[in-house]
Amino acid sequence: MTSQDGDFPLFAWIEKTQKWLRYETANTDNCDRYALCGANGFCNIIQSSPVCGCLNGFVPKSPADWDMTDWSNGCVRKTPLNCSGDGFRKLAGVKMPETKSTWFSNTMNLRVCKNKCLEKCNCTAYSNLDIRNGGSGCMLWFGDLIDIRVLSENKQEIYIRMAGSELDNGDGAKINKKSKAKKRIIISTVLSAGILLLGLAFVLSVWMKRQQKNRQIADSLERSANHMHKEDLELPMFDLGTLACATNNFSVENKLGEGGFGSVYKVLLYKESGIY
């Protein structure tokens, strides 16, 4: 049925509320209706049918109602945020969400704005406050993102916070890659240090064994030298009978001469005398 203003509205009966829901109008922009697609949903009359969809990384909170074109419950995250490992997904060409629960600064650049959002676990998105001249300022959103619609001519970009596992590129991937790279560096450093310590321990062990062997050889040579020196210094001792036998009973024929300590005799080497 055509309304008085010439619109041709389409309605769907919502059993839960027992009311008719106007979900599309032929001659008007349905996305102008506030929060048509609920929290974390977006409205798109350019290419979508139905007009509502969930942001990337979100799913309908109530799939049954969503299929019945009741989008009022909006969308929820596939993966909850964990505050410490989150990243951001860029969304461009849309009207910014409502600013009821926002915070802004005129002086922050986008990099500082991003870090400010990461500091707040309930911060769900950030963007430049002013897109002119390359962008300036900072705006942060807290809680659900409401009343987003696609506007192809809009050049403003918004960065929506996502769990790191939901991001296959962009900031989340960078965070995961940095974390993995850091772990690889730590593991490589620990392994290298371990191998180096084992190598040093092996070299030290070999050196100590060689030193011990050298000391043993030196001690053995020193004992042998001392023993030989001692044997060289010791003079043989013979009893009187042996000497008498060797000198033919101190015969004058064997006498070589005399000195201050007595006579010197030639000793005859005979087995019988015990002198060789």
What string of DSSP letters covers 202-245?
HHHHHHHHHHHHHHHHHHHHHHHHHHHHHHHHPPP---HHHHHH
- Domain identity same for 51 and 118: no
Average confidence (pLDDT) over 38-46? 91
The pLDDT of residue 173 is 41
Burial class, 132, CB count within 10 angstroms (exposed 0-12 / middle 13-18 / buried 19+): exposed
Asked, for residue 95, whether it belongs to a domain, the answer is: yes
- Domain identity same for 68 and 3: yes
Domain boundary, last residue among 55, 78, 101:
78
The pLDDT of residue 12 is 64
Domain boundary, last residue among 22, 43, 78:
78
The pLDDT of residue 229 is 58
Asked, for residue 24, whether it belongs to a domain, the answer is: yes
Average confidence (pLDDT) over 55-63? 94
- Domain identity same for 65 and 158: no
- Token pair, residue 104, equals 């802004």
Beta 102-105 vs 19-25: how paired, if at all? unpaired
Who wins on pLDDT, 147 or 240?
147
- Domain identity same for 64 and 109: no
Domain holding 138, by residue range, is 81-186
- Specify which residues 126 forms β-bridges with: 140, 159
DSSP 34: T
The pLDDT of residue 153 is 76
Beta 102-105 vs 94-95: how paired, if at all? unpaired
Who wins on pLDDT, 122 or 226?
122
Q: Could you give the number of structural domains in the chain?
A: 3
Question: Which of the listed ranges 1-15, 36-50, 93-107, 233-247 does the model predict with the highest average pLDDT?
Answer: 93-107
- Domain identity same for 69 and 94: no
pLDDT, tens only, 142-156: 999 999 998 877 778
Who wins on pLDDT, 168 or 233?
168
Average confidence (pLDDT) over 229-233? 56
What is the rounded CA–CA span in Å between residue 77 and residue 163?
9
- Domain identity same for 65 and 136: no
Asked, for residue 226, whether it belongs to a domain, the answer is: no
- Domain identity same for 86 and 160: yes
Residue 170: how many other CB atoms lie within 10 Å: 14
Percent of the chain with pLDDT over 90: 35
- Domain identity same for 32 and 124: no
Backbone angles phi, psi at 62, to 5 degrees: -130, 90
The pLDDT of residue 46 is 77
Asked, for residue 18, whether it belongs to a domain, the answer is: yes
Examine the pLDDT at 220 and tell me if it is beyond 90. no
Give the lowest-confidence range in 46-60, 122-136, 158-172, 234-248. 234-248
The pLDDT of residue 223 is 75
pLDDT, tens only, 176-213: 455 566 667 888 888 888 888 888 888 888 888 888 88
Asked, for residue 192, whether it belongs to a domain, the answer is: no
How much is the CA Rg of the chain, to the nearest whole Å? Answer: 52
- Domain identity same for 61 and 44: yes
